[in-house]
């Protein structure tokens, strides 16, 4: 059976950093991001941050 998933790109409040990741529970992941609940060493954590100069 194939599992579904989501690739997401989120930004911070100042729109200066992108958070890119993959999850199978998008609503939960957005909640975690908004509430700073993901630790850097967590395997489900987003990929390293990418600075944004212009989008």
Q: Is the pLDDT of residue 53 over 70?
A: no
* Distances in whole angstroms, Cα of residue 48 to Cα of each of 1, 19, 51, 54: 30, 7, 10, 18
| pLDDT tens for each residue of 3-16 | 789 998 888 888 88
Q: How confident is the model at residue 28 (pLDDT cuts 50, 70, 90)?
A: very high
pLDDT at position 42: 42
Residue 36 has pLDDT above 70, yes or no: yes
Confidence (pTM): 0.58
Average pLDDT over residues 15-34: 87
Q: Helical H runs in 1-55? A: 26-34
């Amino acid at each position: 059976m194939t599992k579904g998933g989501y690739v997401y790109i989120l930004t911070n409040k100042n729109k200066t950093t992108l958070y890119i990741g993959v999850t199978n529970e998008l609503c939960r992941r957005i909640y975690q991001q908004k509430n700073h609940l993901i630790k850097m060493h967590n395997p489900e954590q987003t990929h390293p941050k990418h600075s944004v100069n212009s989008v």
